[in-house]
Each structure stands twice: as structure tokens, then as C-alpha cells.
Structure 1
């Protein structure tokens, strides 16, 4: 058998009357869309529903497959403890997905309660699963569940994972439908959960239009800055769904889209039109070209940072030969340097030196780029598949100078606090750090210095180079 239905469904708890208490009427089209899909799935009467969610137990470096006999959860955190579910997990299909993914080097983990006990948690039905299933259960309950929580593994890996889901279903002999659970931008209105950004609506419209047209390449080719600033949680679920549709021509039928509460809620069914050849090689080539274009268009500071990490990934050692595009200033000047890596707007690694530890800026960048990618203790090592999703920035520090609180400005100056051997540093112009008091408090915390202790203050400026 094969997958018999593909759906993008949001998960706003407020759409459920017991939680909305009348507010659900403000997103009535979303509720109507849910009911249409619920009735449609009831007619298909699948043996199993595969659901990919952003809100289950998530690992940073592996996709999580819930693997117990049953999985349960409720919506008590949203004021509706009476809404609860317990579903049987289809362990056979889950196992097959795991085997195919592991065999093909997609990081996956069987999330059992004994494993998760080490992290003081257990498998559970999250609201990303319960909200869509609430509307399905109104019309149909005779199904097992495959519960998957995605991980930020990069677009191609998620697409491949979807391909292996499809293959597992084909081998199962069961009737199955696929639900990609995810909300779109959370930045549609100032009163929304993350405030307003012009990137929010732009992301939602472009994303949905590409899905409606079945333009997989254009989904992969969306502007990375737009994605990073949209604050969405549905794209990775959809990338997995698109992988399951790899050998199909399809279109997306948008049943509803609403942003009443500052979050984009899209309800969409995907219609398979005909068979098609695999798009994987084309997508891999597209990403390879995008990566090369980014390097060519970068300034030499961030280009060197990126190529230093690439070289280390490919060769297993630090780059020694300075590339010919490096400027005289990078060779002749010694400065402290910070290299930062961000993935979809979130920090992925950052290591720096207040004072130069190498012979010149170029060597400082090489050293700190490798350290940020592979030795930042807060993160696992960067993998090759992530490089397109990572944005590099390089901060060149001026010489620190003695200062006092009155001379600080968090937009213009970074700050260093010192007491004996304790030192804390904070770069300037950081999002959310808009007062001197907050800047000092964070720097002191990093240093392990109490705010009421005596300490010395230094300030410095940075020249920041960033990829676009």
C-alpha cells in the first residue's frame, strides 16, 4: 500500500471550543477546515495516521520516533484537562521508518520511556498532535499512530526522511495518511506572541503559494533571512511531507488561512496528480549551487570563516594555507575576533578571543571558526548537511579601553567586566540587550561576578561582517 492522504494542519489550542470559550469563532474558517479534513480522513478510514509535530520530545541532533505500545496526553496546560487522548502506536511502521532512516544515515532515535527517563521526561501526545487529532476523532477513531518529532537536521535530511517514511508505508501493506502539524509565522501582528515582523506575512504567502503550485524547488530556495525571521514551526514538518511526495506531481489545496491572533494558521490538503521522477538529485544540486553562490558573494572575513569550517569537515584538520582572496589588512593586523554561527536565527556556536591569540586576523578567524563549529560546549558539532542553513558572522574587536557605566552604550560598545581572574564579555548591538543595566548584568553573570561586588569595566567596539 502507499500513503493515501497528505495534509498540513495547524495546532492552535484556541480553536477547540473548550479552550476558546467563544474566541474560536474568530478563527472559524480554521475550525471549518479542520472539520472538512476530519470527515475526509474518516471516509479514507486509514489503518494508521503518521503525524510529524514540532512540540513532542525534541532532540537537536536526531528525529524522535515515539516507541511505546501507547501514547497519551491532554490539554490541561491550556485550561482543558478534560481533553485527553490515549492512542496505540504502530510499532511495526515506526520500526521500519527507523531502520530505513538509520541505514541511510539520517539521525533518528527510538524514543522510549526508559531512554527519556534519563532526561526526566517521557513520550507524550503534545498539543501539536492533539489539536489536529481532536477534529479527526470527532469522525473517526479506528487508527493507530506514528508520532514523530522533527529535529533541525537541514532541509535535505528532512526531505530524505520523508522518502523513507513513504517507503516504510509501501512495505507495510496498510492504508495510511500523513499529517504535517505546524503553524506558520508567529509574527503577523504586534500583539502576537513574538511581535510584528514584515517577514511574517511575506513568508506565509510565499510558502503557501509554492505549496499550492507544487513547486518543491521554490520551497527549498526561499530566502534564508525570511525563514529565520518568520518565527514559524511548520516548515520542517512540511519538508518531511514533501519528501513523502517525492515521486509525485501534486498541488496544494488551501482550505483556509487566518492570522487573527498574530499566528498564521493554514489548512491544506495535497492532491497527487500523477507519478513523477525523484526530485532529490535536483534539490541537492540546487543546494550545492546556493552554497557556492553564498561564498562567492561574501566578504573575505565571513568567507574565510565558512571555508575554514568546510575544510575541517572535509579534511579533519585546520586550514593552514591562507586563500588568495584574503586582504592585506587581514594579514598585517592582529585583533581579537569572535566568530558566530546562527541557524534559522538561533545561535549554533560562538567562540572568540578578546585579545589576539594568533599572528593575524586571518589566522584568528580560522582558529575561532573551527572552535565555534566543533568545540562550543553548548552545542553538538556542526555537520556538513547544515552548512546551507547556517549564517556566519565575524566580529573584529578594537582594543578594549577602561570605562565606567556612564560611558557605556549597548548599541555602540561591547563590554568587558573583570574581578581578579574572573572575566565576562558581551558583544554590542545584541537583540534584546537594549540597556546598559541589562548588558552589565549579563556580562557579570557570564563572569560569575555578583552585581554588588566591585569590578572593573572596559569597553570596545566591533566591526561586524555578516553573510546575507
Structure 2
């Protein structure tokens, strides 16, 4: 394992709605790009997240590396103390980085007394990551910048990548940093011509992926632009040096006088990378007379990725329009030797596409169904798959409008809601169907409930087990 991806992100506190109180709407592109970074980062199933921060403790002749088992922080300095985060630091990973720096005679240190809280340049990226992953389960390493040379920041990045490889850890690097602070006369530092020039130069570098050009930027241009993220980006460039990666500038905005760029650098052929395999299995239906349903193939690929590699399958490229552009609720069902082995789904769409819906529900069916233990690798060839795509629910005025073979049913009362799919073995009457749905909702048998029905398209082609 090794560095699997790196992301350059800004850190404006107002991007958190509790702080922005509506102002964040002016940087909608940045928010959307941040969410995409969070989605991609979660899909990599990282063992460790390294955050380089311009607002962590800054030392003239060395680097800050967090050295406490846990760290906590809030946005109290921005009027919202209830916005809080806690992280668990990977001290062995951090010490391995520090040891490499010491061999180059570069000192490291933890936070000075009273300065150990998470800084906002770390907090903001982690705020978004926390929406797609459980930070309690992922270790973090927080690193500051320094007054040392560009070459030393590059070396630090190289050390991060080398430690990730030696530790056999899937590592995601978050390079936190704003661009110029001198884009507008009414901005925090006024306007300087160097501001937009610097931002254009760095945005072009991010877009092209030629990160080594960061080290050739003119010093006077950087100083005049009042940037804060360059050395963070230089660490990232060092970490990616020598690795094949794709580069994508996801967004750039500067409405408040400060430049915000979000860029993604995905390491190609990262260990456990199964997107190509999934896409190949889906395309295989063309070569086998269309007898493999692409929805079923995607569900199988999702389950096998999480069970074999311990990672969420990224959405493969070149999917059919039904998967890539449609949104719908969906259930993924697993059976083993005719017995249910897991079934999890969503009543309405919760993801950007049906493909993402199936991927995440496949993960949940294999690992989170409370009725069963998580699927083991040795069971994969024994599993059969089906995917149910739900139509729009419609209200039911009388029991005559229900048919347990044709329609699924949703019962709801207040915040309680239960769903039962149609055409299930042993569910032969409307009353059976409603009773089971009420039980799933936590409602008493005689408790009043609103009824809705929905139709389902069930996909099974190609979902048979590889071995009986």
C-alpha cells in the first residue's frame, strides 16, 4: 500500500453553514468540489489521512507534527463553539516521518503549551470528510508548515509517501491552503496585481498536473499575492513525485477577495484499485449476449471490493446512462445457497446517481445488515445477487389498491417508517405485508399508519453464484 490520492483544498470557515449563515452560497462550486473530494477520499478507504496545514503551529527551523494520541477542536473562534471535531492521531506514522526528517537534520516538534487544539485549516477539510467517513475509525497525522526552504517542504512530502509505503498503509494527503488574499480592493488585504496572477499560475499547474512547476514560481510574485497555501502544495508535490497520477482542477473561486482552489490528484494503479475490473465486468454483458445486467454486475463489484480490499468501490467510468445519470432508491439483496445473506436499501435516492446508490447499498448489505455477520472473502463465490430499483411512492386510499405480488408497501407514522418489497416468499396477503412493514417500522399491529405503495423493477440477470 502507499499514497493513493492527494487533494488541494482551501479552508474558509464560512464554508461551514453554521459560520457562513448563507454567505457560503457564494462559493457553491467550492462546496460541490469539497463534497466530491470527500466522496473520493472515502472511496479510497484510507488507513491514514495526512493533513498539511498553514495554521498549525509554525516553526522557523522545523516542522510541527502532532504528537498527542487525540486532538479536539471547534469553530469557537468563529462564533460557533458547538461545531466540534475529534481525531485520533497515528503516532507511529508521525514518528516515522519525524525520523526521516531528523536524518536530514530537520527538527520536528509537537504543539507548544496551550496551542494543541485543531486549527481551522485542518478543521474545515475534516468537516467535509466527516460527512463521508467515520473519523473515529481513520487515523490522522497533522503537520504544519515551516520557515525552511522549498526543498525541505518537498522532502517532507517524499517522506510522507515513503512512510506510507513502508507501513503498508493506504494514505490520503490533504494539502490545506488558500490561494492569494489580494484579489479584491474590499478583500481582507486589498488588491494587488500579483494576486490574480499567482492564482492563475497555480490553477494552471493544478489543471496540468505539472506540480514540480510550483517550485519555480517567482518569489516576489508569491509574496505580493499574500498566499498561504504554496508550501502546503509543495509538500503535496513532493509526496506525488515519481508516482503516476491524474490531475483535475475541480473548482476555483474568489468572491471574497481570497482564492479558493480545489484540485484532485489520483494515483493511478493504486493497490486494490478495482474500478477498471468493475467496468470490464459490466461491459462483459455486451460480449455475452447481454446476459449480465449492469446493475447486478455493479452490485457484485461493490461487495467484492469492500470484502476483499476493504474499500468502497469508486464509480467506474463509462457506465450506462441508467446508472450514471438516473437517481432512484434501490435495494441490494444477497443470498447464499438460497438463504438471505444481507439486504439493505434506500426508499428514495440519497446519492448523486443510481450507480452510487447501488455501490453504497452493496457495501451495507455485505457489512452492515444487523441480522447477519459481515460477508467473508471465502463466501463471495457462493453469493447470488439481485437489485431492486424502486419507483416513486404513491398514496394508498384503500387496501384494494395493494397487491403484495406487484406492489411494495411503505407504512409511516410520525418519524417511524417501514418498507417491504413486493413478491417475497411467504408474504401472500395484503395484511401479512402491512403487518411485517409495521413491525419493521416499530409500530404496533393496531397502530394507525399512513400507507404508500411503489412498484419495483427487479434485476437478477448474471447474479447467480460463481460456485454452488
Give the TM-score band, short-chain normalised.
0.5 to 0.7
Offset at 1:274? 7.8
Distance in 2 of aligned mates of 1:55 and 1:143: 22
1:242 counterpart = 2:241 = no
1:177 counterpart = 2:172 = yes
The structure 1 residue matched to 2:158, chosen from 157, 160, 163, is 163
> Equivalent residue for 2:181?
186
Offset at 1:216? 3.5
Offset at 1:58? 1.3
* Contact 1:59–1:151, Cα closer than 8 Å, also in 2: yes
Deviations 1:178-207 (A, max 9, x none): 000000000000111100011001001111
> Equivalent residue for 1:8?
8
Instruction: Supply the RMSD in Å over aligned alpha carbons.
Output: 1.5
Offset at 1:249? 3.9
* Contact 1:213–1:251, Cα closer than 8 Å, also in 2: no
* Contact 1:163–1:245, Cα closer than 8 Å, also in 2: yes
* Contact 1:214–1:249, Cα closer than 8 Å, also in 2: no
* Contact 2:4–2:266, Cα closer than 8 Å, also in 1: no
- Helix, strand or coil: the match of 1:84? strand
- Helix, strand or coil: the match of 2:132? coil
* Contact 1:49–1:176, Cα closer than 8 Å, also in 2: yes
> Equivalent residue for 2:321?
none
Matches within 5 A, 1:20-419: 20-105=20-105, 107-111=106-110, 116-117=112-113, 121-141=114-134, 142-273=137-268
Could you tell me which runs of 5 or more consecutive residues in structure 2 were left unpaired when the two chains were aligned: 271-468
TM-score (norm: length of structure 2): 0.56
Deviations 1:247-286 (A, max 9, x none): 12434211111001000000110133589xxxxxxxxxxx
Distance in 2 of aligned mates of 1:227 and 1:61: 20
Distance in 1 of aligned mates of 2:239 and 2:34: 22
* Contact 1:248–1:274, Cα closer than 8 Å, also in 2: no
- Helix, strand or coil: the match of 1:248? coil
Could you tell me which runs of 5 or more consecutive residues in structure 1 were left unpaired when the two chains were aligned: 276-468
* Contact 1:152–1:236, Cα closer than 8 Å, also in 2: no
* Contact 2:3–2:267, Cα closer than 8 Å, also in 1: no
Offset at 1:111? 0.3
* Contact 1:65–1:108, Cα closer than 8 Å, also in 2: no
- Helix, strand or coil: the match of 1:162? helix
Distance in 2 of aligned mates of 1:95 and 1:217: 27
Distance in 2 of aligned mates of 1:40 and 1:270: 11
Distance in 2 of aligned mates of 1:130 and 1:86: 9
Deviations 1:369-390 (A, max 9, x none): xxxxxxxxxxxxxxxxxxxxxx
Offset at 1:218? 2.5
Change (3 A) 1:123 1:62: same
> Equivalent residue for 1:402?
none
* Contact 1:75–1:127, Cα closer than 8 Å, also in 2: yes
Offset at 1:61? 1.3
Distance in 2 of aligned mates of 1:12 and 1:175: 27
Distance in 1 of aligned mates of 2:249 and 2:196: 16
**Worse-matched range after superposition: 265-274 or 191-200:** 265-274
